[in-house]
């Protein structure tokens, strides 16, 4: 190590929205990657299934990448790992449950034989290249979450991951504040800390408080209980199971991700399910409503999730009605509010009772302001970079650090792709690397970009007109009247006159340019788009997509 040695820290995601967490740490010829998650598609990403981070920088430096280290098993931290491994085959470090959940994803992608998974636990240390990583137990909304103390040649970095302070967690040990305080006393150069709840005052309630709510809801209830929650919220599922046992209810589970996580958690001993409690959804009809609890995906209104299909009557085996109570045991991820409201409205139309009071049936897994103050006070870091959240969360967290006495010049707000260089002397920003979002649509990864999304938005708003014509370019003649096919533009039976007029207009446009000696098919198509679009807009103030299909015929 020279006195000019520096560690590059590059967030490629997780700092400009909720989800898609991934951070790069680079020292000379060694790179480690912390987390590799997905995010939900935004409302204008029509047809997109999920969004993964752009890892172009890592692909360009593939020979340096030593490992991916996972802090816990939520989708926004592990969901993009299979896509990552298809580009870069490297070791994956994670705790037992985290890797257990990941394994089902790797199976779906056919990667189980090639992936190298390294299991670690809180208290362990790993040496990876010139980095040393210590795994520290923290509490979150699922078991086996860890913070990371990353020892580098220029100092220690504490990376909290997602965390909260819970002294009475479900089936887990409390956060290891003692070890965090010990590391703080020995000297932490940089703190990178979860900012998701930096705007919320006070403390996050313990997960155990949900038990009282479920007890009150289940008591003397004659309805079937349908609970939608995050599939990876193993603690919540355990509490649902406990309440069901107490009130003599069988439990059915639907939703692929929910089934996968519960299966993995049960196999690995992170959830306690008595023999005979779980039944198949097809067997629910054998029981009365007050004997059934149904656990499902869809708490965020995701299209094609279990709850979504039930709400819209599309589920093959489950229908909901007045004998059901649906509980949304999750808070809305920013941007998903409309999707959730849409599901609630559909459920209400079916006579379903809906409980959506997040304060009663949900506890967040992220630290609120008073817990963040505790973390900062114990760590006593020289420098601070807020992570995990929208930009407003990061700025609010930065202000909190100032309130606690940290100088503003030691606080840095991250952006995706921004390069921080940490040295013995301090931190500086040194440019940026390629970063952003890659959209996944079905089996297609990255083949949907801004142009495709713009076309999809155009089609969804204004429809399409296809103009079909045969042209004799040798004799500069239109061989027959153009045919117009309309989809999503106007209702054909009620707009025959308009379409006839547009066919005549299309014929006139082609004839005009053929008479001018224009025979290039590409040029004729462009003229058709421009002029027919102007005519349509002048008549009905719409701008459909216009797709000319011209065949060149030589007689």
pLDDT tens sequence across 2-23: 566 899 999 999 998 888 999 9
pLDDT tens sequence across 16-65: 888 899 999 999 999 999 999 988 766 555 455 678 888 999 999 999 99
CATH code at 51?
3.60.15.10
Active-site position among 194, 235, 324, 362: 194
Task: Give yes or no: residues 87 and 216 share one domain.
Answer: no
Task: Check residues 501 and 91 and name the one with the higher pLDDT.
Answer: 91
pLDDT above 90 coverage of the chain, percent:
57
Task: Give yes or no: residues 100 and 123 share one domain.
Answer: yes
The contacts of residue 329 (CB under 8 Å, 6+ apart) are 210, 227, 228, 229, 233, 236, 240, 299, 361, 362
Task: Give yes or no: residues 190 and 236 share one domain.
Answer: no
Decide the pairing of beta strands 292-296 and 483-487.
Answer: unpaired
Q: Is residue 13 in some structural domain?
A: yes
The residue among 331, 346, 361 that closes a domain is 361
Q: Is residue 1 in some structural domain?
A: no
Q: Is residue 451 in some structural domain?
A: no
Q: Is residue 455 in some structural domain?
A: no
Q: Is residue 246 in some structural domain?
A: yes
Q: Is residue 224 in some structural domain?
A: yes
The residue among 361, 385, 403 that closes a domain is 361
CATH code at 519?
3.10.20.580
State the Cα angle at 116 between 114 and 121, rounded to 5°.
Answer: 155
pLDDT at 514: 83
Q: Is residue 547 in some structural domain?
A: yes
Q: Which of the four pLDDT bands, split at 50, 70 and 90, describes residue 527?
A: confident
pLDDT tens sequence across 120-132: 999 999 999 999 9
**Catalytic residue list contains 366:** yes
Task: Give yes or no: residues 413 and 290 share one domain.
Answer: no
Task: Give yes or no: residues 328 and 407 share one domain.
Answer: no
Active-site position among 72, 366, 388, 393: 366
Decide the pairing of beta strands 250-254 and 278-279.
Answer: parallel
The contacts of residue 216 (CB under 8 Å, 6+ apart) are none
Range with top average pLDDT, 36-40, 350-354, 522-526:
350-354
Nearest-angstrom CA–CA distance, 555 and 541: 40
Place of tokens 């040295």: 423
Task: Check residues 201 and 445 and name the one with the higher pLDDT.
Answer: 201
Structural domain harbouring 131: 6-202+364-446
Task: Give yes or no: residues 168 and 219 share one domain.
Answer: no
pLDDT at 494: 55
pLDDT, averaged across the chain: 88
pLDDT at 455: 53
Q: Are 224 and 324 in contact (CB under 8 A)?
A: yes
Task: Give yes or no: residues 218 and 195 share one domain.
Answer: no
pLDDT at 257: 85
Task: Give yes or no: residues 294 and 315 share one domain.
Answer: yes
Task: Give yes or no: residues 114 and 175 share one domain.
Answer: yes
Q: Is residue 457 in some structural domain?
A: no
CATH code at 277?
3.40.50.10710
Task: Give yes or no: residues 91 and 214 share one domain.
Answer: no
pLDDT at 446: 46
**Catalytic residue list contains 472:** no
C-alpha Rg value of the chain to the nearest Å: 28
Is residue 350 pLDDT above 70, yes or no? Answer: yes
Q: Which two tokens stand for residue 268?
A: 């690995």
Q: Are 146 and 138 in contact (CB under 8 A)?
A: yes
Give the total number of structural domains in the chain.
3
Residue 297's nearest CA partner among 214, 224, 231 is 231
Is residue 226 pLDDT above 90, yes or no? Answer: yes
Question: What are the strands of the beta sheet with 324-328, ordered from one edge?
Answer: 278-279, 250-254, 292-296, 224-228, 324-328, 353-355
pLDDT tens sequence across 322-348: 999 999 998 877 777 888 999 999 999
pLDDT tens sequence across 420-468: 999 999 999 999 999 887 767 555 454 445 555 555 555 556 678 888 8
pLDDT at 243: 95
Please, which residues bridge with residue 429 across strands? 420
Q: Which of the four pLDDT bands, split at 50, 70 and 90, describes residue 160?
A: very high
pLDDT at 457: 59
Task: Give yes or no: residues 230 and 139 share one domain.
Answer: no
Task: Give yes or no: residues 356 and 379 share one domain.
Answer: no
Task: Check residues 490 and 543 and name the one with the higher pLDDT.
Answer: 543
Is residue 315 pLDDT above 80, yes or no? Answer: yes
The residue among 314, 334, 361 that closes a domain is 361
Decide the pairing of beta strands 292-296 and 324-328.
Answer: unpaired
Nearest-angstrom CA–CA distance, 191 and 372: 12
DSSP for 419-456, written as a single string: EEEEESS-EEEEEE----EEEEETTEEEEE-HHHHHHH
Q: Find the mean pLDDT for residues 288-293.
A: 95
Burial class (CB in 10 A: 0-12, 13-18, 19+), 279: middle
Q: Which two tokens stand for residue 389?
A: 């959240």
């Amino acid at each position: 190590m020279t006195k000019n040695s520096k560690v590059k820290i590059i967030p490629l995601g997780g700092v400009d929205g909720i989800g898609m967490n991934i951070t790069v740490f680079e020292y000379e010829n060694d790179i480690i990657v912390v987390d590799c998650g997905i995010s939900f598609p935004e409302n204008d990403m029509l047809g997109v299934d999920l969004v993964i981070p752009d890892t172009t920088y890592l692909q360009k430096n593939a020979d340096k990448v030593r490992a991916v280290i996972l802090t816990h098993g939520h989708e926004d931290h592990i969901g993009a790992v299979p896509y990552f491994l298809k580009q870069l085959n490297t070791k994956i470090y994670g705790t037992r449950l985290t890797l257990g959940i990941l394994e089902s994803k790797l199976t779906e992608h056919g990667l189980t034989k090639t992936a190298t998974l390294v299991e670690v636990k809180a208290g362990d240390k790993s040496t990876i290249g010139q980095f040393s990583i210590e795994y520290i137990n923290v509490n979150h909304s699922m078991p086996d979450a860890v913070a990371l103390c990353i020892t580098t040649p220029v100092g220690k970095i504490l990376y909290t991951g997602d965390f909260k302070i819970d002294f009475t967690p479900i089936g887990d040990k409390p956060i290891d504040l003692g070890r965090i305080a010990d590391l703080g006393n020995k000297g932490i150069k940089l703190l990178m800390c979860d900012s998701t709840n930096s705007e919320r005052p006070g403390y996050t309630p313990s997960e155990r408080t949900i038990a009282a709510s479920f007890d009150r809801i289940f008591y003397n209830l004659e309805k079937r209980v349908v609970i939608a929650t995050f599939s990876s919220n193993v603690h919540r599922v355990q509490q649902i199971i406990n309440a069901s046992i107490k009130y003599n209810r069988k439990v059915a589970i639907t939703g692929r991700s929910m089934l996968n996580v519960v299966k993995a958690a049960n196999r690995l001993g992170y959830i306690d399910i008595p023999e005979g409690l779980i039944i198949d959804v097809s067997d629910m009809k054998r029981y009365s409503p007050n004997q059934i609890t149904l656990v499902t995906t869809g708490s965020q209104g995701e299209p094609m999730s279990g709850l979504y299909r039930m709400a819209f009557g599309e589920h093959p085996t489950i229908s909901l009605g007045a004998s059901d109570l649906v509980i949304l045991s999750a808070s809305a991820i920013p941007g998903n509010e409309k999707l959730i409201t849409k599901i609630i409205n559909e459920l209400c139309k079916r006579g379903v009772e809906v409980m959506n009071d997040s304060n009663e049936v949900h506890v967040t897994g992220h630290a609120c302001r008073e817990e963040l103050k505790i973390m900062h006070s114990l760590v006593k870091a020289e420098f601070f970079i807020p992570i995990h959240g929208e930009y407003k969360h990061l700025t609010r967290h930065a202000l909190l650090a100032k309130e606690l006495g940290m100088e503003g010049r030691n606080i840095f707000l991250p952006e995706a792709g921004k390069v921080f260089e940490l040295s013995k002397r301090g931190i500086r920003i040194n440019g940026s690397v390629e970063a952003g979002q890659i959209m996944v649509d079905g089996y297609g990864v990255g083949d949907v970009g801004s142009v495709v999304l713009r076309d999809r938005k155009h089609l969804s708003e204004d429809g399409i007109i296809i103009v079909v014509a045969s042209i004799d370019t040798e004799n500069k003649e239109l061989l027959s009247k153009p045919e117009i096919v309309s989809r999503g533009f106007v209702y054909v039976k009620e707009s025959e006159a308009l379409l006839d007029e547009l066919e005549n207009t299309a014929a006139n446009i082609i004839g005009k340019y053929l008479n001018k000696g224009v025979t290039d098919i590409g040029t004729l198509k462009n003229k058709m788009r421009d002029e027919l679009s102007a005519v349509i807009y002048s008549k009905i103030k719409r701008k459909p997509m216009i797709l000319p299909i011209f065949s060149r015929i030589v007689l």
